[in-house]
Structure 1
Amino acid sequence: MLPFDDEQHLNKRPLDEATLLSGQFWGELRVFLAVAKTKSFNRAAEMINTSQPTVSRQVKRLQDVVGSQLFISTPRGVMLTPQGEALARALTRLDHTLHSITSDLKKETREAAGTVRVSITDGLAALFAAPALADFSSEFPKIQLHLKTPLNLIDLRENHTDMMIGFGPSVSTDIQFRKLGQLHFIPICTRDYVRNHGLPTAGNLEHHLFVQSEYYLAKTGMWDSWQQAVARGRVAHCCDDPFAYGLMVKAGLGIGLLGSYAVMEPAAVPLEIGVRVSVPLFLLALTERLQARPVRLVFDWLADVFGSDNPWFNDEFRLDNPPSRYDAGFRLMFNLPPPDGTRSGR
């Protein structure tokens, strides 16, 4: 066998090599360049937003790895050695190259343009997607979202949409899906209802009123605990519109089954009556449409908004979630102050 009988070996691209030649010290190189530019460990720490001991420690590690002294101390600060000067000049060229590349990528991202259709339930759109859209639009000003109320929470094609927040994965080969977080439903009434009818408990539901919805009548097993609780009391009213349903509960007309985030409403009273339903959320999109950059950007954005990093969709069920960047919709909808206790615009 000839030593070079594989033509592809000679034509192999650098990216095809499975090894990194530079070693595990790229972070230290950035710290070193900051010191080289500022001539000070303290000013370098301020530049890269870290501490002076961290800068000193990383520079020392870099010197140990390369086996050369890169700085010497002087009364006027640190000075580069000849070896440090050579490394700093090379890194400066690399720094300029990386800056140019990332600037071009940002320009490409900002120029992404087009309309992206998203099917999403009214409550999730109003409380989460719409408030988060301001930051998204600031970053991608030429992408227009068309938020649509879904006709079907399973069928993308029936909704004539590019992507959809649904309650199940897809089995179709031309649809991609991503598992998001969990949507937790809990029974809720209001303080006015409690004043008028008493506090509902697992032992006295026969004396209480409920607001029912056809969505919760599905024979899937998911809503059984709610259906059993309702059967013990009396249905006061029915409603299939999510906003009207929430307003009927808020008006004190009965106990309703709402997303756990409804506890942000000041008048809400979460109830312990043996009912809690957790529904997995999925983001589904047509594979062909995901090839378009605007669609992919919206897909990734929605995956963040409704992912498990959002405390309201975390797998762990909590009603005392700390303030976060996902709270803007509640504060707008319920006229609540920002987390610092001050109202915006005042």
Structure 2
Amino acid sequence: MTKIARRRADWSHLRVFFAVAETGGFNAAARELRLNPSTVTRTIDELERQLNVSLFIRGPRGVTLTQSGVTAYQRVRTMQQTAEALELEVSNAESLPEGRVKLAAPDGLAGFFISPHMPAFLRANPGIDLVVDCGLWPDRPLEGEADLTLTFSEPAYADAVGITIAHVHYALFASREYLDLYGAPSDGVEVLSHPYVHHVAQTHQKEIWGEKAIAFQTLTKKRIETNSSAVVVQAVKNGVGIGALPTAIMAVEPSLVMLDVNPLPAAKLWLVHHRDVGQSARIRAVVDWLKSIFDPERAPWYRREFVHPRDFPLAAPAAPAAPAAERPERKPKSA
């Protein structure tokens, strides 16, 4: 079957036609569109050739529309009005805090430190829907590119806008029940004799943890290895052993006990977005919300300097470890 080619008018040609019809002349349209008059003339000639009609009657005082030109003008004016309405609608949509925002964040941050604040944010912003991608199912990611990313790696691509939103300090933690059974290690050497809950990022992210901390992680007796911060928190909380956690965990899980050994390194938490989305009202609303969550004035555990959990506002103070004489003689299970 023979395929019939349809004549199609290029929208850029129609835009020039509309300008000529509105201004009444090629030169006036050229000034309006900031084009060379010869370009306008060639464009109209090409459009008439494509449509196989005459659109204008040329005269010494300008141009007038032919009957076909009047029909074309009415259609193109409708198209122009539709385009203007679309532009206004899209512009208004971006000026209002409405629409879908996709946030990429580690599961621990999203689950323990962001999720508790979601109800208040969504009540205050009923037009915003959140999509939170924690990267735990890499072959089936949530639909769409991330509008915002929380990451411990400094952004490296050219169009990225990144700010340090928090300093996340790490320390070693255990449950009260575990310490009652096995005693609290007094230094890093004693920690090595205890079962350890290990997050693999703590040996792979050398730029964050440093050689000394990575060497320590390598020597630990790993009873659990995982790529999920939520698994580390729950395992430590339920007495599996000792694990490295953000000191901020005490604000949401005050039953945990921070060990009296040297704190681990702090990591910068970056909030990153593409330069082009920064002006969107819905993106700005989520950015402001995340900044409030990690505000170091409200949450001192996110300050640049280390703040001990005992100084956290509203946090339950860590109880002292049981005296040695009262501890059971059981030894921690080896790896």
Q: Provide, for residues 67-86 of structure 1, a one-character-per-residue CA deviation record: whole Å limited to 9, x for no partner.
A: xxxxxxxxxxxxxxxxxxxx
Shift of 1:304: 2.4
Q: One-letter code of the match for 1:171?
A: A
SS of 1:291 mapped into structure 2 = coil
Q: Does 1:241 align with 2:228?
A: yes
Q: 2:193 aligns with which of 207, 230, 253?
A: 207
- Unaligned stretches of 5+ residues in structure 1: 1-106, 153-157, 331-346
Shift of 1:119: 0.7
- Counterpart contact for 2:95–2:280, Cα < 8 Å: no
d(CA) in 2 for partners of 1:219, 1:149:
18
Q: 1:197 aligns with which of 168, 174, 182?
A: 182
Shift of 1:206: 4.1
Q: One-letter code of the match for 1:200?
A: P
Say if 1:297 and 1:206 are closer, same or farther in 2 by CA, change over 3 A.
closer
Q: Provide, for residues 156-201 of structure 1, a one-character-per-residue CA deviation record: whole Å limited to 9, x for no partner.
A: xx98211111113323232211121101111111122222222112
Q: 2:125 aligns with which of 124, 140, 145?
A: 140
d(CA) in 2 for partners of 1:206, 1:125:
30
- Counterpart contact for 2:206–2:214, Cα < 8 Å: no
2:25 counterpart residue number = none
Larger Rg: 1 or 2?
2
d(CA) in 2 for partners of 1:218, 1:114:
36
Within-5 A mapping of 1:38-49: none
Q: Provide, for residues 54-78 of structure 1, a one-character-per-residue CA deviation record: whole Å limited to 9, x for no partner.
A: xxxxxxxxxxxxxxxxxxxxxxxxx
Higher relative contact order (CA 8 A, sep 6+): 2
1:26 counterpart residue number = none
Shift of 1:151: 6.4
Shift of 1:110: 9.9
Q: One-letter code of the match for 1:209?
A: P
- Counterpart contact for 2:170–2:247, Cα < 8 Å: yes
d(CA) in 1 for partners of 2:124, 2:222:
47
Q: One-letter code of the match for 1:195?
A: D
Say if 1:144 and 1:127 are closer, same or farther in 2 by CA, change over 3 A.
same
d(CA) in 2 for partners of 1:285, 1:312:
24
Say if 1:110 and 1:143 are closer, same or farther in 2 by CA, change over 3 A.
farther
Q: One-letter code of the match for 2:98?
A: A
Shift of 1:258: 0.6
SS of 1:304 mapped into structure 2 = helix
Q: TM-score, normalised by structure 1?
A: 0.55
Q: 2:216 aligns with which of 212, 229, 233?
A: 229
d(CA) in 2 for partners of 1:221, 1:291:
32
1:14 counterpart residue number = none
Say if 1:159 and 1:276 are closer, same or farther in 2 by CA, change over 3 A.
farther
- Counterpart contact for 2:277–2:283, Cα < 8 Å: yes
2:145 counterpart residue number = 160
Within-5 A mapping of 1:29-108: none
